Copies of this chain bind each other. A is one copy, B any other.
Amino acid sequence: MSLDDKAQKPHDRLAEALAEDMEAVNRLIRERMASENAPRIPEVTAHLIEAGGKRLRPMLTLAAANLCGYTGRYHVHLAATVEFIHTATLLHDDVVDESQQRRGRPTANLLWDNKSSVLCGDYLFARSFQLMTETGNMRVLEILSNASATISEGEVLQLTAARDLATTEEIYLKVVRGKTAALFSAATEVGAVIAGASDEQVRALYTYGDALGVAFQIVDDYLDYAGAADVIGKNTGDDFRERKLTLPVIKAVALADAEERAFWSRTIEKGQQEVGDLEHAMKLMAHHGALAATRADALAWAERARDALAILPQQPLREMLEELALYVVARIR
């Protein structure tokens, strides 16, 4: 291994280690996103799928399966399944959020219309269920159908929890599990299950995916307040302007006195924001240590992810997954 390899991001090292499998996943994805009956479908799905994305979730499935000594071919099906579920939720999310851009390109709902995004998302969901059914593994089907339910539950919960100051850290965590962690943990868990791993290994890889997903999302929410614009590619304070109850705000609200509560109620609940409000919100967060506590939470989740892997075989893939957990929080170290 050269120094150059060492300098690679863990994500790129994973991609390199799993290159052959990922090639098979990409082939399967292209094959299954087609539709001879409705040519509009591959147009819409290709627009999003070919735009790249990091293919992080399918790589997690492949890595988990390989790490548990799997020698079959169904991890490829499961990796494609996970990517299809992910893409379907993105198509629907962009309709729900009325988004204009995704992965640096105009969204499908903008290029075609909401209808196409809703229906092509449904198609990818159905295709994902076909793919997972082909594995013939009931436990895998349970895990992935449960994850799908958790994802949509989390999204609906986010809809209703938005702008509600009563949102607790517990509710936040449920939303985060739905938005992000449920598919991460399902991705790693099914990799272990299809490999016939022990219950202990399955649990370890579930915990890894779950904690990785939670850390990932908390970092995102932290950086929206703490990050410089050029690091995260969006402006600081977007979540504040969109009145989202993310972890830094939840922590600050929990410690707010009456006057501060009135401020949060005006800006987040009622949405009456004035010049200087974002700066005042940052000051309140600093005062209560809300950003520091959020950062500490993210680091703890990343640590939990890394530690979960301790019982797994000490192999390069395990190392890469460990590094990935630390890399997720590297931006906030």
- Measured CB to CB, the residues of A under 8 A from B are 35, 37-41, 89, 92, 95-96, 114-116, 118-123, 125-127, 129-130, 133, 136, 138, 141-142, 145-146, 148-149, 151-157, 159-160, 174, 178
Bound together, the chains give a CA A120 to CA B37 distance in angstroms of: 27
A-B contact pairs, 17 of them (CB 8 A): A37-B153, A37-B154, A37-B178, A38-B157, A38-B160, A39-B160, A40-B156, A92-B118, A119-B159, A120-B152, A122-B125, A122-B155, A123-B156, A125-B125, A125-B148, A130-B142, A130-B145
Q: A38-B160, A39-B160, A138-B136 are in contact. Are A126 and B114 (CB under 8 A)?
A: no
Extra 20 A-B pairs, beta carbons < 8 Å, given A115-B159, A119-B159: A37-B174, A37-B178, A38-B154, A38-B157, A40-B157, A40-B160, A89-B122, A95-B118, A96-B115, A96-B119, A114-B114, A116-B156, A116-B159, A119-B152, A122-B155, A123-B149, A126-B149, A129-B145, A133-B138, A133-B145
Bound together, the chains give a CA A69 to CA B137 distance in angstroms of: 28
Task: Report whether B92 and A119 are in contact in the complex, using a CB–CB cutoff of 8 Å.
Answer: yes
Inter-chain contacts of A138 with B (CB < 8 A): 133, 136
CB distance from A216 to the nearest CB of B (A): 20
Inter-chain contacts of A39 with B (CB < 8 A): 160
**Considering only CB atoms, which chain B residue lies closest to A125 in the complex?**
B125
Inter-chain contacts of A40 with B (CB < 8 A): 156-157, 159-160
Contact residues of A: prevailing secondary structure:
helix
CB distance from A177 to the nearest CB of B (A): 9
**Considering only CB atoms, which chain B residue lies closest to A137 in the complex?**
B138
Q: A125-B125, A133-B142, A148-B126 are in contact. Are A153 and B35 (CB under 8 A)?
A: yes
Inter-chain contacts of A157 with B (CB < 8 A): 37-38, 40
Bound together, the chains give a CA A136 to CA B148 distance in angstroms of: 18
Q: A118-B118, A119-B92, A141-B133 are in contact. Are A156 and B126 (CB under 8 A)?
A: no
Bound together, the chains give a CA A120 to CA B157 distance in angstroms of: 11
- List the 3 closest pairs (A to B, CB-CB), nearest first: A126-B148, A126-B149, A123-B152
CB distance from A171 to the nearest CB of B (A): 9
Contact of A119 among B127, B130, B156 (CB under 8 A): B156
Task: Report whether A156 and B114 are in contact in the complex, using a CB–CB cutoff of 8 Å.
Answer: no
CB distance from A185 to the nearest CB of B (A): 15
